[in-house]
Amino acid sequence: MVAYFLQGNKRFFALGIVCSLLVAFLDMLGPKIVQYTVDHIIGEEAVSSAVVQQLIRDAGGRDYLRSHLYVIAAVIIGIAVVAAVSRYLYRLFNSMGAELLIRRMRDCLFEQIEHLPYAWHGKNHTGDIIQRCTSDVETIKSFLSEQLTSLFRVGILIAIAMYFMIGIHPKMALISGIFIPIVILYSFFFHNRIASSFQKADEEEGVLSAIAQENLTGVRVVRAFGREQFERERFEKQNHGYTRMWIRLMGWLSAFWCSNDLITGLQVMLVTVTGAVFCVKGYITVGEYIAFASYNGMLVWPVRELGRVISDMSKAGISVDRICYIMNSAREDAEQEDMLPVPEHPGDIVFDHVSFAYEEGTDVLKDVSFTIKKGTTLGILGGTGSGKSTLMYLLDRLYDLPKDGGRITIGGADIRSFDRKELRRKIGLVLQEPFLFSRSLAENIAITKPGAPDMELVWRAAKIAALDEAILKFTKGYDTCVGERGVTLSGGQKQRTAIAQVLMGNTPIMIFDDSLSAVDMETDAKIRRGLKENTKDATVVLISHRITTLMQADHILVLDHGRIAEEGTHESLLQKNGLYAKIFAIQMAGAE
């Protein structure tokens, strides 16, 4: 999965690694130059290396360098400058690679989430999804750009340092090197404990994000019911639990770093004391001791960094798993190349022995069969949970019918043989709870049309939806920003805006799922008249609890516990004196 995200930016990480290796190599040259300067230029020790002898001769000889030590200083400064430039390029390439990586991760995650089934979104909290796409993405970016790339530099630093240290004194090198496996072993010991603590903390953060997101989007409901105190206590309880998780994690990290400090401190102390003893006894020269101490000091940071990489690997591993959960979730079925095109003017819609359950258990729909004639209006009446909305979700393929759940056809062709996207372009659906984006009213109405809004069409759709008069009362008219989820609009205004959206699409099939529940009777009648006059060629489905909304439909279904209890026209259903007639009588009595 990480390799997939790295596509297109590997070269930056590769260049960063090359520069970091160059920095590591150049950093190791300084102590060696100091060693040779102290022992062989200032001191009288003989030079055993033929390469070093040739370099001294090329530079003017020992006597010349002894009287012109600034030449050696200039060489050291030159090496430091080249190392600084390499370090700058390492940071630059690494940062560029990291930003491109995180951009690709966000793009891929967003694209994946948009193609996940409707049911998947129903099972996963929005706050947790956002947390995975932000906090977990940043954790992976930090690990790849800071820890993982530095692993190559750490490796080369340890290798070069140990090589030079062994060349100076093998026994002292053994004393210094014996601490490396100790650091690695205890880093792995902490790895699993840090991983489990981080996973729990990450999950708690997801729940906390979900609570915050729900309260921010539902702030009007919270205040309307005076639930501020309850929601605050609920948030604080979760926040305290989340804090405890991080305190526990910080406890493990603190123990890890303290142990790291203790072990590296012991290493430096042991090498310093041993080196001083060996130097006094003449086992090594002063220059060798200075060089060895320098290399050992350089070795401390890489060894600590190696331990940090191992510990941070646990956190990154959890974040990778959480992101992989999204990326590996099954998308809506990929369409085949031989999918049938949806006709521009679809024919009759037939539900043939349709049964459906959202999860294992009781069916929401039970052997439902009916036909919607092309160009007619179907009304669907039923109580809560009777399966009214489910019928339309299945028609729009937000949920797919199981193989043994019957079939739905349009013009005689099974909807599973149509391209899903093309099918949805032919169906305009107004959901029970319309969602508006934080944009202007004109942009929200014209959301089904790409590009700048065609205001003539926007005005026409708003007029049919009985929204134009309300919009003209706003100071900015159609340029009024509706706020997040349409928070500045009333329930009826949001429903009418959603109706206008569907009318803008001018689809041959239009579904209005209880989309007039928040408007008054007069506005309801006005909208129905507008729909009837302007959707003559379209197949319309009206779902409602209000019989007055359905009574002009060409055909009406009455659903009861997932089955068709009655069907017919308004007049024929009244004559049957069944469930429809009883509901009608109750609603009329209530209206009076």
Which pLDDT score, from 0 to 100, does residue 191 have? Answer: 67
Average pLDDT over residues 356-364: 78
Percentage of residues in the chain having pLDDT higher than 90 = 4
pLDDT at 592 over 60: no
Close Cβ partners of 582 (under 8 Å, ≥ 6 residues apart) = none
Query: How many Å apart are CA 526 and CA 522, to the nearest integer?
Result: 6
Cα–Cα dist 268/275, whole Å: 10
Q: Which of 585, 564, 583, 561 is nearest to 380 (CA)?
A: 564
Q: What is the pLDDT of residue 47?
A: 63
Q: Are 159 and 303 in contact (CB under 8 A)?
A: no
Are the C-beta atoms of residues 563 and 383 closer than 8 Å to each other?
no
Edge-to-edge, what's the strand order for the sheet holding 509-513?
427-430, 509-513, 539-543, 377-382, 555-560, 563-568
End-to-end CA distance of the chain: 64
Distance CA 47, CA 302 (A): 30
Choose between 21 and 304: higher pLDDT.
21
Mean pLDDT of the chain: 80
**pLDDT for 402:** 85
- What is the reported pLDDT for 258? 79
pLDDT at 264: 77
Is the confidence at residue 243, as pLDDT, over 80? yes
Q: Which amino acid is at 16?
A: G
The reported pLDDT for the residue numbered 552 is 85
CATH superfamily of 2-327: ABC transporter type 1, transmembrane domain (1.20.1560.10)
Q: Max CA-CA distance within the chain? A: 122
CA 101 vs. chain centroid, Å, equals 13
Place 351 in a pLDDT band, splitting at 50, 70 and 90: very high
CA angle 219, 223, 227 (to 5 degrees): 100
Claim: this prediction has a pTM higher than 0.75: no
Domain boundaries, the chain: 2-327, 349-591
Q: How, if at all, do strands 349-356 and 365-372 pair?
A: antiparallel
DSSP one-letter code for 446: G
Cα angle 204, 209, 212 (rounded to 5 degrees) comes to 130
Average pLDDT over residues 338-345: 75
Q: Which residue has the tokens 């191992």?
A: 310
Q: Name the nearest CA neighbour of 32 among 167, 158, 153.
A: 167
Position 409 scores a pLDDT of: 92
Q: Give the DSSP letter of residue 479.
A: G
Specify the long-range contacts of residues 102-105, CB closer than 8 Å, at least 24 apart: 102/137, 102/138, 102/141, 104/5, 104/7, 104/8, 104/9, 105/5, 105/137, 105/140, 105/141, 105/323
Q: For residue 405, what pLDDT is reported? A: 86
* Residues in CB range of 101: below 8 A, 6 or more apart: 5, 6, 9, 141, 144, 145
pLDDT digits (tens, 9 = 90+) for 161-188: 787 788 788 888 888 878 777 777 777 7
What is the CATH topology of the domain spanning 349-591?
Rossmann fold (3.40.50)
Is a pLDDT exceeding 70 seen at residue 90?
Answer: yes
- What average pLDDT does this structure show over 297-312? 70
Say how far apart CA 328 and CA 458 lie, in whole Å: 40
CA pair distance 360, 111, nearest whole angstrom: 29
